Amino acid sequence: MPIAGNQLSQATSPYLLQHADNPVHWRSWGPAALAEARALNRPIFLSIGYAACHWCHVMAHESFEDLDTSILMNARFVNIKLDREERPDIDHIYMAALHALGEQGGWPLSMFLTPEGAPFWGGTYFPPEPRWGRPSFRQVLLAIAEAWESDQPRIASTSASLSRRLAAQAATSPGAALTPADLDVVTAHFLRQIDRVNGGIGHAPKFPNIPIFRFLWQEACNTGNQVAAETVLDLLEKMSQGGIYDHLGGGYSRYSTDAEWLAPHFEKMLYDNALILNLLALAYAAIPVPLFAQRAIETVGWLLRDMAAMDDADEAGHFALAAAEDADSEGVEGKFYVWSDAEITQILGEDAPFFAAHYDVTPAGNWEGHNILRRVLPHADAPGEAKLAACRAILFAHRANRIRPGRDDKILTDWNALAIAALARASAVFARPDWLATARDIFAYLTKVLTAPDGRINHAYRHGQISAPCMLDDQAAMIRAALALFEATGDADYLTRATHMVAVTQTLFADEAGSFFITAADAADLPPAAPRPRHLHDGPTPSGVGLMAENYARLFHITGEPAWRTKLDRLVANFTGDRANLGASPIMLAAAAMLDAGSAIVIMGDPASPDYADLHLAARAAPDPACIVLPMGLRSDLPPSHPAHGKTAGAQAAAFVCRAGICALPVTKADELRRVLQQPNLG
């Protein structure tokens, strides 16, 4: 007989533990819950969310903590709770099903499944009473339960139709090779969507969409497209001055509810901040805007101060980074972050008017009667900036006495790997070798605690337990992190690790055509009614396919081996048949462009010499993300297929910039190398 009651108390996910005291008889995702549904012949209610999700909290308080609602759920359904961050593969399957039903996605994701796990209806947030043209959650539950009892054949037909559509979505669409004209079309498409007033893409709600802007930046570096460059700079400036940024503690929230970056949903995610840090470094390398340096330093400060998962630190004190901070504290969205005019006046005294004028603080407030800090006046003179910095420090110390938002302290491999790559780049651009040391420590930590005997890197870890299996994004992001550390240090062990992880990834995730699935071939707990998922499109994070494409491009430039080009060409060719949707995969497009537009910067000489170190640092701080650094040192073992084969530095360290199979004359001065790498001039 199935075990009665709520079974989430044994979970490791902070999101599932948030629901462990609900009167709902929640189960964790897995074969046991599906078997229970089959034994009882009940439909499954699957609720998917994450710990920092504001509307997930709202639906929990309104419905899952309500006794009458829970009685209905327990009597008519098998109820499963899933953390989308722990299991993005399962979330992808059912989010794709929701889209196939013609619904807009989001979380909480509320899906109804057959006992076999086949989806047949769903939505997102449902209110406790009919509202906004939406039925109440209890109305939905009753309607689904009655349909299940009275018309299972129709439900079976609907779920079969959905399964066919999901299978079609998981299929590849082979086509011809990409051309520069394809990239121009995608660039123009993105630029038409730019908000020329507030920066970013579209209107409210507004997300950073960093993979798109990373693509635009690379295209600007490659083609000299000034408009593309300006859109990236404008995005970073507007976000960095807006309320989406935490002006006291550092770090960017996940998205803004309005078009002008004022009012975020206040949750802060590791992945957003890793990707924004990387883009700040690229932009600053081209145009050293002081604001970008300040935001990078503050954001890394937040990561290392507030996001270090110290409860899981190893015996040497090494740690990884936690997944997210919540939007809510004391059950109120944004309460930790907002201020009243009276508070500011009481705390800052005579400096309050000066601070208020610069940070949009008014008696009426700028958001629901409160004030979200945002910078509205331009840069002050040096004494003015010093005064503002002192005010921020005072407010930060005062805010530390408030009840903090909850923190999701699980460790996710792919998100941490994105942070490693960002820290490695930013360490060169902002002259912070300590950030590179931190990146190396995080990589070593992840490798130590999450690597399986066969070389796969598992996805999630918390309190000494691995809580989710390896997925494509984990492998791809860790390969990218290893390559970033190789380029930053010249330590050949990172290159060896990267190539080994590629081999493991191909064994576990690749198909015969050179494409990839999200889940490993031996994944044991996928819904039996769903196709093995495949996902190409970039969302807030790059897709695993896009990251693997970039890994192939970087390995081609590092090694000169044509096999890497062939792998990338095969991978991309799986998805070019649908030309109209190429823009959904900007990281893959950037990787494809990197083959011919990318530059290999080969540094030769004695690694212990100051000249070598200066050249290496200048190469690492290139503004073009398609610049790949190969720190050769005194080695001379490049294969004949590499354009720098046979080249040596002589008595003085030298850098060779190689592009399209040809290396330019050696550069021996760091300033000269910086000048070369600034072309075309994005300033």
- ∠ CA 213-619-417, nearest 5°, is 55
Please indicate, yes or no, if residue 273 is contained in any of the structural domains. no
Nearest to 186 by CA among 621, 642, 576: 576
- ∠ CA 566-570-574, nearest 5°, is 170
Question: Which helix or strand (DSSP H or E) is residue 28 part of?
Answer: strand 26-28
CB 456 within 8 A of CB 475: yes
Which residues of the chain are modeled with pLDDT < 70? 1-3, 679-683
Q: So what's the pLDDT on residue 683? A: 45
pLDDT tens per residue, range 31-77: 999 999 999 999 999 999 999 998 999 999 999 999 999 999 999 99
Q: How far apart are CA 212 and CA 582, in angstroms?
A: 12
Please indicate, yes or no, if residue 41 is contained in any of the structural domains. yes
Please indicate, yes or no, if residue 476 is contained in any of the structural domains. no
For residue 563, how many other CB atoms are within 10 A of its CB?
12
Q: How far apart are CA 128 and CA 527, in angstroms?
A: 29
Q: So what's the pLDDT on residue 3? A: 61
Q: How far apart are CA 461 and CA 441, in angstroms?
A: 17
How do beta strands 654-659 and 599-604 pair?
antiparallel
Pseudo-torsion of CA 131, 134, 137, 141, nearest 10°? 150
pLDDT tens per residue, range 247-267: 999 999 999 999 999 999 899
- ∠ CA 85-530-140, nearest 5°, is 75
Please indicate, yes or no, if residue 139 is contained in any of the structural domains. yes
CATH number at residue 96: 3.40.30.10
Sequence-separated (6 or more) residues with CB below 8 Å from residue 192:
none
Q: So what's the pLDDT on residue 4? A: 77
Last residue of a domain, one of 170, 190, 222: 170
Q: So what's the pLDDT on residue 475? A: 98
Please indicate, yes or no, if residue 606 is contained in any of the structural domains. yes
415 HSE (CA, 13 A, CB side): 24
Please indicate, yes or no, if residue 462 is contained in any of the structural domains. no
Query: In degrees rounded to 5, what are phi and psi of residue 326?
Result: -75, 160
Sequence-separated (6 or more) residues with CB below 8 Å from residue 654:
603, 604, 605, 615, 666, 667, 668
Q: How far apart are CA 607 and CA 616, in angstroms?
A: 9
161 HSE (CA, 13 A, CB side): 11
Domain limits at 96? 8-170
Helix (H, G, I), strand (E, B) or coil at 123: strand
Last residue of a domain, one of 380, 399, 418: 399
Domain count, the chain: 3
Q: How far is CA 545 from CA 323, 524, 594, in A?
A: 22, 22, 15
Please indicate, yes or no, if residue 667 is contained in any of the structural domains. yes
Please indicate, yes or no, if residue 352 is contained in any of the structural domains. yes
Sequence-separated (6 or more) residues with CB below 8 Å from residue 233:
283, 287, 289
Last residue of a domain, one of 376, 399, 422: 399
